[in-house]
């Protein structure tokens, strides 16, 4: 029997938990910091080996030395030979700018994986914040945040942190920051710059601009379509002005390297067009079926007699299995401006993705989904604003278990098909 005046241990724990929750509600910045730090630590722990396939740390080091090219050879990653010596990195440059302060502080041996984990942790905290901003109740807010952090390709991308994966994580970061401003129609120029920085990480992200325009213009779709007023048109124009700033800088970057504002050098990679997946060029409608298969139907390889039997394949894993909560997107209300224009933005951003010859390998999940992830997860927030059903919770749990298994099978057991 408990002593008089003393709370039972269980009751004491509940009191402490209530106090902790109350303190966190009073200090949202503390919740943000704890969530970012804890998930960032988990992502770093996912694969603590230094990232070998890194292009952005060498490129950041080149920027610090006033160069647009890398002087030392990078045989481990795709590159473009430079006529005057050295090599160009054929990817949009923003991830290199993101790691530049770390390279300046710690030198060219800085591990890109640390930056990937840090940015990934910030992404989780930002999504949690944005879900609260659109009025998602606490339970679905926590569930969706956990699903994004652990039940989607974001875990694999942020934890492994190779150049292709870090570019996706970096794009998510700047897109979430842009949405943070756009949802309140604040600072349209800055929001445009941020979306431009996201596109300077992963080009397809920039095609989502119609959603941001609709938010800043104040377009309403209920009870009937309401067009923007003069203030809304001005805000949308300022957003486009901001978007044009990083677009112009990237164009100048390409001009300085290849003489064209639109040439990133991808087709100049030695032998790239000889790869079988680029048989019809870099982009072609003929590649659409392979993306549809990877997005919806690609499963594990079953290996009879070899534990644990279900072997991941570097081609990827369908969202059907890795993130089944996406099926609940059909519940997102079509009377919400964000949802209507969100679908328009997603479809536009997917156009260059699903017509690209490479489906994203090597990967676990479908890494290109990161390009539209900020929009999709907020649309799920609108679908679950008041609560979340038992089947949806089960789908989230399945996604977390599948992603945990994939991470363990590949990184822990080296159990993966090539």
What confidence score (pLDDT) does residue 1 get? 46
* Cα(50)–Cα(418) distance, integer angstroms: 22
Statement: residue 330 has pLDDT above 90: yes
User: Is-contact 285 273, C-beta < 8 A?
Assistant: no
Question: How far is 240 from 243, CA to CA, in rounded Å?
Answer: 5
* Residue 18 confidence class, pLDDT cut points 50, 70, 90: low
Structural tokens at position 247: 């677009």
Rounded to two decimals, what is the model's pTM?
0.92
Of the pLDDT bands very low, low, confident and very high (cuts 50, 70, 90), residue 77 is: confident
- What's the mean per-residue pLDDT of the chain? 93
Give me the mean pLDDT over the 66-84 stretch: 89
The answer, yes or no, to whether residue 260 has pLDDT greater than 60, is yes
What SS3 class is residue 82? coil
What number is the average pLDDT over the span 59-63?
97
Amino acid 167: pLDDT: 98
- Average pLDDT estimate for 357-383: 96
- How confident is residue 14, by pLDDT bands cut at 50, 70 and 90? low
| pLDDT at residue 34 greater than cutoff 70 | yes
pLDDT confidence bin for 23, thresholds 50/70/90: low
The structure tokens listed for 233 are: 């048109």
Residue 127 DSSP SS3: helix
User: What is the phi/psi pair of residue 130, to 5°?
Assistant: -70, -35
Lookup: tokens for 285: 């409608």
Cβ(193)–Cβ(162) under 8 Å? no
What does the pLDDT average to over 29-52?
Answer: 94
With bands split at pLDDT 50, 70 and 90, how would you rate the model's confidence at 73? confident
pLDDT in tens, 98-137: 999 999 999 999 999 999 999 999 999 999 999 999 999 9
Mean pLDDT of 369-393: 97
* Percent of the chain with pLDDT strictly greater than 70: 94
Per-domain boundaries in the chain: 29-412
pLDDT in the model for residue 28: 79
């Amino acid at each position: 029997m408990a002593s008089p005046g003393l709370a039972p241990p269980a009751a004491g724990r509940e009191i402490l938990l209530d106090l902790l929750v109350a303190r966190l509600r009073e200090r949202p910045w503390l919740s943000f910091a704890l969530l970012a730090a804890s998930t960032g630590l988990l992502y770093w722990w996912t694969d603590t080996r230094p990232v070998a396939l890194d292009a952005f740390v060498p490129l950041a080091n080149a920027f610090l030395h006033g160069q647009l090219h890398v002087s030392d050879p990078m045989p481990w990653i795709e590159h473009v030979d430079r006529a005057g010596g050295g090599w160009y990195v054929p990817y949009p440059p923003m991830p290199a700018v993101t790691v530049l302060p770390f390279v300046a502080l710690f030198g060219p041996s800085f591990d890109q994986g640390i930056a990937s984990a840090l940015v990934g942790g910030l992404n989780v905290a930002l999504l949690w914040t944005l879900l609260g901003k659109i009025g998602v109740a606490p339970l679905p807010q926590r569930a969706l945040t956990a699903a994004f952090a652990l039940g989607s390709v974001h875990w694999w991308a942020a934890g492994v942190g190779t150049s292709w994966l870090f570019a996706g994580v970096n794009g998510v970061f700047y897109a979430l920051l842009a949405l943070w401003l756009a949802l309140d129609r604040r600072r349209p120029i800055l929001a445009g710059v941020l979306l431009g920085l996201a596109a300077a990480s992963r080009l397809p992200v920039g095609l989502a601009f119609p959603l941001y325009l609709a938010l800043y213009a104040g377009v309403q779709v209920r009870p009937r379509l309401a067009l923007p007023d003069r203030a809304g048109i001005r805000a949308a124009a300022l957003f486009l002005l901001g978007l044009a700033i990083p677009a112009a800088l990237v164009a100048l970057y390409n001009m300085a390297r290849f003489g064209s504002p639109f040439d990133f050098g991808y087709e100049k990679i030695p032998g790239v067009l000889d790869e079988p997946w680029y048989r019809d060029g870099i982009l072609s409608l003929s590649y659409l079926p392979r993306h549809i298969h990877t997005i919806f139907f690609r499963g594990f390889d079953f290996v009879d007699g070899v534990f644990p039997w279900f072997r991941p394949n570097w081609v990827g894993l369908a969202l059907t299995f890795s993130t089944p909560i996406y099926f609940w997107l059909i519940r997102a209300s079509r009377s919400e401006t964000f949802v209507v224009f969100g679908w328009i933005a997603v479809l536009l951003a997917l156009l260059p993705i699903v017509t690209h010859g490479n489906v994203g390998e090597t990967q676990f999940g479908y890494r290109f989904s990161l390009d539209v992830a900020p929009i999709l997860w907020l649309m799920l927030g609108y679908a679950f604003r008041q609560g979340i059903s038992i089947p949806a919770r089960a789908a989230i749990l399945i996604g977390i278990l599948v992603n945990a298994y994939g991470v363990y099978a590949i990184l822990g057991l080296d159990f993966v098909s090539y």
